[in-house]
Structure 1
């Protein structure tokens, strides 16, 4: 079964502890709903740097920085998109990029 990267972009930050707790509960419920399709817990991003052509580095994530990522398995990209559509990140004002990963054969023999 193919693996897909869910890259989370943007979102609003909860204004209160109660809003934060509610969002965290929604995330945990969503992760539970994915069952074995979720390859690992979601991974929020804490810092970003962008490496530009020529090697210059800036302390940002560019125009649309990634704020987190997940890896899921699904039968196809349409099924992965349907899973992502139920993610609470969308309700918090963010967007989700769904990308199928290509498995590289590292056997050099």
Structure 2
């Protein structure tokens, strides 16, 4: 079954412990809704850096990465349906980019 990389852009950091608990509950519910499709739950990431032939910048550009998850799905449509339930998509604070891994073997 194809694997898909979900790359998170944006999202909010909770201001209070209560908001943090609510946020974690939403993420847990999202992961549970995908069940065995989750290959690697991923993690949030710190400040991103962009390296190119033009040099290095200390930020991720216009839309920096904020985390990732890897899932298995029958096709892009199913993978994107999973992504649509992500808490940062649902609450409007961010977006999820979906890309299929290419089997090189």
TM-score normalised to structure 2 length: 0.91
Structure 2 counterpart SS, 1:102: coil
CA distance in 2, matches of 1:9, 1:53: 24
Gaps (5+ residues) in structure 2? none
Greater gyration radius: 1
Matches within 5 A, 1:17-56: 17-54=17-54, 56=55
Question: Is the contact made by 1:14 and 1:20 (CA closer than 8 Å) also made in structure 2?
Answer: yes
Residue of structure 2 equivalent to 1:70: 69
Gaps (5+ residues) in structure 1? none
Q: What's the C-alpha RMSD, in Å, of the aligned pairs? A: 1.3
Counting strand residues as a fraction of each chain, which structure ranks higher?
2
Residue of structure 1 equivalent to 2:4: 4
Question: How far 1:12 moved relative to its partner?
Answer: 2.3
Structure 1 stretches (4+) deviating beyond 6 angstroms? none
